[in-house]
């Protein structure tokens, strides 16, 4: 019989605190090749101020290095970032579940509630819906993660900011080829090339992954391409051109399981997944350009422009009988979006009252044109095929923003970082499917918000920083959340209001010349008009505003070298996320009029209270090895909290060896995930209408690979 893991969290907290305390008493050497090191000297673009690195910013910022080792997935790369939860769903038809301090946890499609960027180009649409599918890890140099109040400076849906930065091309030609294979028919291969001189630099990468999937009916193929070109312009100016493509045809969707199904056979797919051949195809192409030009007197101008298109076709397991309702929009979703935008920013660096000062101001605009069509998922007696048209809309989202921020070292040991952003977003829906029994559902909605934020930093010593920051944020409903009304009627849910939050954080950072680094933060975010799932049936989610909510907790992270060959990295998060108002929900199938109360104080589903990650790394000569422990607490899966997914703990092991072959290097690697072969629920589908909340994680898996580097 399948047994899920239940963790004793009090001992885990004491263990984490003890390990951190032991590290403070050690006499360590400098850190090397840490996958989640806040790298010294890296200019963190998340502040929008080029001279302010992560250590001087009154905010929680993590930098994950990608250059030496290429992680298997984004979730693997981000496993050691405190406050961030990245869940692989074992469902290639859905993106990684990504949440920061509880924001984004309810998303059933893509990433929402967070702002995403790839090489400075937005990967989040104007409506707040984002994708990380085109993040090419083979091309990446690092991933930056910003948490807390300063995320609000990025506008709508800024519960946190995640940005991947591609490696710059410089110096002689560097080539890399990598291939790996693993359990359940998993294979991956990729090539990259980069180099350049003072005038031009280039970095190009392409990769392909295939998998039969851990679960039944979960096979997939993903193709990714990324190119970055840097051109020197005039006096110290640079023009960066970025192009990427992502293609995933017919990724199978096994759907979620009920608790009984997950206990009986976690690898199974639901019967209806086979009946309707549930699947999704996605294609995205994008181009972007960034021009940075310094001028005399400390002035700099930065201009960014981008454009792209994304197409999605998804086949759902919506019963045929349900589609007899003339207001139903069918079981096949067909989305095609064209999008683009730009940003113009001026900055100046100099002195104010004889103290270091930097200021920036800018404006941005983005647009998204979406053709949303729905079709029946049957033709006569054949299921899982595109049938008659049932929905046809032309939806447009536009945002325009103005912003400013400044950094001032106004006294010895003291600095201030402050800013504000004004965002205006407009949604317009043009209904082109008007037939008998299905009226014209065209409409529009407008949202606007000003989000100020400020942080005060104090330096008691050269290696220690203490800060306090506070700000406001907001989160509009996305087109996917507007797409279906909670009462089952046709048209967009234009009555939804944006969620508005008040955020505060107090934190401390410490590092020394031997490579030890420790960070800790206490945080609270109070939200009004919290957006929550009203119902989730057949792949369709509808949403509503449910009043006030609170997310509060503590984050601790440490990098602790334990001698010349050893290092341990630690990250712990305790997070309490709860609704603060009572609100009604539906509990019966087909319910459209909520009548069962959820009391104030109920936990927000999908958010674990405790999360712990540690990695012990050993390197000597040509050999390296690592052991990673990950523990995630139990989560509720519905608003009432009547069901939950138990917590779990996993151990992952890896081993590698280098060989020098002339001017080339070979690196072999082997990895075992879930070494103790535990059964666990890796992710959940919040408020799934058929109680299929659970998406089991894989049992013990292995992978082996070989990487060739030339020219380094």
63-88: per-residue pLDDT in tens?
A: 988 866 667 788 888 888 999 999 88
Distance CA 652, CA 88 (A): 15
Mean pLDDT of 327-331: 89
Q: pLDDT grade, residue 537 (50/70/90)?
A: low
Q: Give yes or no for residue 33 having a pLDDT over 60.
A: no
pLDDT tens-digit series, residues 435-486: 988 888 898 889 999 999 999 999 999 999 999 999 999 999 888 788 777 7
Q: pLDDT grade, residue 335 (50/70/90)?
A: very high
Contacts of the segment 429-435: beta carbons below 8 A, 24+ positions apart: 429/393, 429/394, 429/395, 429/396, 429/482, 429/491, 429/492, 429/494, 430/393, 430/394, 430/395, 430/396, 431/392, 431/393, 431/491, 432/392, 432/393, 432/394, 433/389, 433/390, 433/391, 433/392, 433/393, 435/326
Distance CA 16, CA 10 (A): 10
Q: Give yes or no for residue 31 having a pLDDT over 50.
A: no
Mean pLDDT of 687-711: 92
At residue 12, the pLDDT reads 35
Q: Give yes or no for residue 501 having a pLDDT over 70.
A: yes
Domain 9-163+224-710 has CATH 2.40.170.20: yes
Q: pLDDT grade, residue 423 (50/70/90)?
A: very high
pLDDT tens-digit series, residues 42-57: 334 444 555 667 888 9
- Write down the number of H helices and E strands in the chain: 5, 41
> Residues, the chain, total?
712
At residue 21, the pLDDT reads 33
Return the beta strands (E) in 43-102 as ranges: 60-65, 84-87, 97-100
Return the beta strands (E) in 316-387 as ranges: 332-352, 355-375, 378-379, 382-383
Q: What is the per-residue DSSP string for 587-621?
A: -STT--S--EEE-TTPBPTT--SEEEEEEEEEEET
Q: Give yes or no for residue 413 having a pLDDT over 70.
A: yes
111-125, 242-256, 407-421, 528-542: which range is least confident on average?
Answer: 528-542
Q: Give yes or no for residue 4 having a pLDDT over 80.
A: no
Distance CA 111, CA 696 (A): 20
481-485, 528-532, 706-710: which range is least confident on average?
Answer: 481-485
At residue 48, the pLDDT reads 56
Q: pLDDT grade, residue 8 (50/70/90)?
A: very low
146-160, 471-485, 526-540: which range is least confident on average?
Answer: 526-540
78 in Cβ contact with 88 (< 8 Å): no
98 in Cβ contact with 73 (< 8 Å): no
* CA atoms within a 13 Å half-sphere pointing along the CA-CB vector of 516: 19
Query: Within 10 A of 523 (CB to CB), how many other CB atoms are there?
Result: 22
Name the more confident of 419 and 591.
419
Q: Give yes or no for residue 649 having a pLDDT over 80.
A: yes
Three state DSSP letters for 541-560: EEEEECCCEEEEEEEEEEEE
* Eight-class DSSP state of 646: P
Q: Give yes or no for residue 538 having a pLDDT over 70.
A: no
At residue 589, the pLDDT reads 62
Q: Where are the domains of the chain?
A: 9-163+224-710
430 in Cβ contact with 402 (< 8 Å): no
At residue 153, the pLDDT reads 87
The whole-chain average pLDDT of the chain stands at: 87
Name the more confident of 76 and 619.
619
Mean pLDDT of 165-187: 92
* CA 496 to mean position of chain CA atoms: 24
Mean pLDDT of 224-236: 91
* Eight-class DSSP state of 4: B
What are the two backbone dihedrals, phi and then psi, of residue 53, each rounded to the nearest 5 degrees? -90, 180
Q: Give yes or no for residue 114 having a pLDDT over 60.
A: yes
Please tell me the pTM assigned to this model.
Answer: 0.89
Return the beta strands (E) in 183-278 as ranges: 186-196, 200-211, 220-233, 237-252
């Amino acid at each position: 019989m399948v047994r899920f893991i239940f963790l004793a969290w009090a001992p885990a907290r004491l263990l984490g605190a003890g390990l951190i305390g032991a590290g403070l008493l050690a006499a360590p050497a400098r850190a090397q090749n840490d996958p989640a090191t806040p790298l010294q000297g890296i200019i963190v673009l998340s502040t929008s101020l080029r001279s302010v690195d992560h250590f001087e910013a009154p905010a929680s910022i993590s930098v994950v290095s990608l250059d030496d080792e290429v992680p298997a997935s984004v979730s693997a790369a981000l496993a050691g970032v405190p406050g961030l939860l990245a869940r692989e769903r074992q469902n290639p038809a859905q993106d990684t579940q990504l949440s920061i301090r509880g924001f984004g946890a309810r998303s059933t499609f893509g990433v929402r509630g967070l702002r995403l960027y790839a090489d400075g180009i937005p990967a989040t649409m104007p409506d707040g819906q984002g994708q990380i599918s085109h993040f090419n890890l083979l091309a990446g140099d690092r991933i930056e993660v910003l948490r807390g109040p300063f995320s609000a400076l990025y506008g709508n849906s800024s519960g946190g900011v995640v940005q991947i930065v591609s490696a710059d091309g410089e110096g002689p030609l560097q080539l890399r080829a990598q291939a790996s294979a693993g359990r359940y028919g998993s294979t991956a291969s990729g090539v990259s090339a980069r180099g350049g001189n003072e005038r031009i630099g280039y970095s190009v990468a392409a990769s392909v992954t295939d998998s039969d999937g851990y679960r039944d009916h979960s096979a997939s193929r993903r193709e990714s391409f990324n190119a970055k070109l840097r051109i020197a312009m005039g006096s110290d100016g640079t023009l960066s051109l970025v192009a990427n493509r992502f293609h995933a045809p017919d990724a199978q969707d096994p759907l979620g399981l009920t608790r009984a199904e997950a206990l009986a056979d976690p690898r199974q797919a639901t019967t209806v997944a086979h009946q309707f051949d549930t699947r999704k195809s996605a294609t995205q192409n994008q181009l972007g350009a960034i021009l940075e030009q310094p001028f005399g007197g400390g002035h700099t101008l930065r201009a960014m422009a981008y454009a792209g298109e994304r197409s999605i076709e998804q086949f759902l397991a919506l019963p045929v009988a349900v589609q007899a309702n003339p207001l139903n929009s069918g079981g096949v979703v067909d989305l095609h979006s064209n999008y683009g935008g730009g940003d113009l920013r001026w900055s100046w660096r100099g002195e104010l009252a004889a103290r270091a000062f930097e200021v920036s101001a800018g404006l941005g605009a983005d647009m998204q044109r979406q053709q949303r069509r729905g079709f029946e998922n049957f033709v006569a007696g054949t299921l899982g095929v595109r049938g008659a048209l049932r929905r046809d809309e032309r939806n447009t989202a536009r945002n325009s923003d103005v912003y400013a921020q400044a950094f001032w070292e106004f006294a010895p040991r003291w600095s201030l970082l402050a800013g504000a952003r004004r965002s205006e977003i407009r949604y317009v829906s043009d209904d082109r499917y008007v037939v008998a029994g299905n009226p014209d559902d065209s409409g529009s909605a407008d949202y606007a918000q000003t989000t100020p934020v400020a942080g005060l930093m104090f330096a008691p010593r050269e290696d220690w920083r203490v800060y306090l920051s506070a700000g406001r944020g907001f989160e509009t409903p996305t087109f996917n959340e507007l797409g279906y009304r909670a009462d089952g009627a046709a048209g967009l849910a234009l009555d939804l209001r944006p969620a508005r939050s008040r955020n505060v954080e107090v934190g401390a950072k410490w590092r020394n010349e031997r490579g030890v680094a420790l960070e800790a933060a206490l945080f609270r975010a109070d939200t009004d008009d919290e957006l929550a799932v009203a119902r989730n049936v057949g792949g369709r989610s509808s949403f509503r505003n449910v009043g006030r909510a609170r997310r509060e907790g503590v984050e601790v992270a440490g990098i602790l070298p334990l001698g010349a060959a050893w290092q341990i990295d630690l990250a712990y998060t305790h997070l309490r996320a709860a609704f603060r108002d009572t609100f009604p929900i539906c509990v019966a199938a087909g319910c459209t009029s909520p009548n069962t109360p959820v009391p104030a104080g109920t936990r927000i589903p999908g958010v674990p209270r405790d999360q712990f990650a540690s990695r012990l790394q050993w390197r000597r000569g040509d050999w390296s090895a690592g052991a990673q422990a990950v523990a995630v607490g139990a989560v509720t899966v519905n608003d009432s909290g009547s069901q939950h997914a138990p917590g779990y703990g996993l151990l992952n092991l890896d081993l590698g060896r280098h060989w020098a072959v002339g001017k080339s290097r070979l690196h072999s690697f082997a990895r075992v995930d879930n070494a103790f072969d535990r059964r666990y629920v890796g992710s959940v589908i919040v408020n799934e209408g058929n109680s299929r909340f659970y998406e089991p994680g894989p049992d013990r898996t292995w992978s082996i690979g070989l990487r060739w580097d030339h020219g380094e």
